[in-house]
Amino acid sequence: MKYRLLDERSLVFDGADPFEVSDYVNRHVGVHRIRLPGSAGRVAGLRHRKAGLIDLCRITYGGPVRVVSTGLADVYHLQIILRGHCRYEISRESHDFSSGDILLLNPDDPIDLTYSDDCEKFILKIPASLLDDVCIEQGWLRPREGIKFIPIRYQLHEIESLMNLLVLLCQEAESEAGSPAQVFGHYNWIVANKLLTLLKHNIRREFPTLQSCSFERLVQYIDENIKRDISVEELARVSHMSLRSLYLLFERYTDTTPKNYIKRRKLERIHATLIDPANPVRSVTAVALDYGFTHLGRFSEFYKATFGVLPSDTLKRR
């Protein structure tokens, strides 16, 4: 395969116990269980990098393995078969994927995958919130049930521009000099746009309505005042809307309340600050207080529920 997706600099496991690799994947890539037919040796391998809000992972279990999960919980997986083959069972149907094929899994899709002995995959993990934000920025109508990609088999030549972008993102993530959060933020935005442009989904690309324009202005206002305690009443006032209309607007475009949306934006900013090695950080407490989180225990709970790790762990791994 001509695409270089993560090299030895991203190596986490080599010749490892498959269950040890699976445990790491559960913590960083997606919740699942593995089932090994017969005995298994210590031959699994994994490479992993965090690139802003996106995770890049290259994995092989070194033997036949079945991977099952009830769903990915607010993340999408773009899975590229690098070698070997993989069988995907869904809705009592079986689909075989081989080297060069691409499978995209939605957050709520049940997963039942069987890897061949020599199967190796590259997995792009992208949070649902990032795709939602791109949808809002473009003025597209986000479906109430969330963005759903249509389960179609893609091949590398069909998404070549995305593949070239992923190669650059891998190189940036593996750069010894390191990249500031702003660089990864731009990459994340472009990757999300590419996914929504190249692949088939349930979004209706319509011209922006007056409501979508109003929502974009509200998002800009929130981002510009993100460190303040922005009340729902303040948003209603600046948007010249009633509270009821404001809640309906957020329900339509984000499927949540204005308060929860503001909290999520604050957490994303804090995450970007903690993970950026070029950003001087005195402590997690200082950053949390800077964004208006005064109850530190509750802040840690919100952060872990959003990113899967404690804020202190993010700071340690920067």
| pLDDT single digits (tens) 123-133 | 999 999 899 88
pLDDT for 188 equals: 94
Q: Do residues 100 and 217 share a domain?
A: no
Q: Do residues 149 and 289 share a domain?
A: no
pLDDT at 214 over 80: no
Pick the closest to residue 74 from 128, 148, 137 (CA basis).
128
Number of domains into which the chain is organized = 2
pLDDT tens, position by position, 266-309 = 999 999 888 887 778 888 999 999 999 989 899 999 999 988 88
Domain termination residue (choose one: 167, 198, 229): 198
Q: Do residues 183 and 238 share a domain?
A: no
Domain termination residue (choose one: 168, 198, 228): 198
Q: Is 204 contained in some domain? A: no
Pick the closest to residue 193 from 104, 114, 132 (CA basis).
132
Q: Is 239 contained in some domain? A: yes
Q: Which long-range contacts (CB under 8 A, 24 or more apart) does 153-157 make?
A: 153/95, 153/97, 153/101, 153/102, 153/103, 154/101, 154/102, 154/104, 154/199, 155/100, 155/101, 155/102, 156/1, 156/3, 156/80, 156/100, 156/102
- Domain enclosing residue 67, as ranges: 8-198
Interatomic CA distance for residues 85 and 175, integer angstroms: 31
**pTM of the predicted model, to two decimals?**
0.68
Interatomic CA distance for residues 305 and 273, integer angstroms: 18
SS3 of 161-224: HHHHHHHHHHHHHCCCCCCCHHHHHHHHHHHHHHHHHHCCECCECCCCCHHHHHHHHHHHHHHH
Q: Do residues 190 and 248 share a domain?
A: no
Q: Do residues 35 and 99 share a domain?
A: yes
Domain termination residue (choose one: 198, 232, 253): 198
Q: Domain of 248: which CATH number?
A: 1.10.10.60
pLDDT tens, position by position, 9-42 = 999 999 999 999 999 999 999 999 999 876 556 7
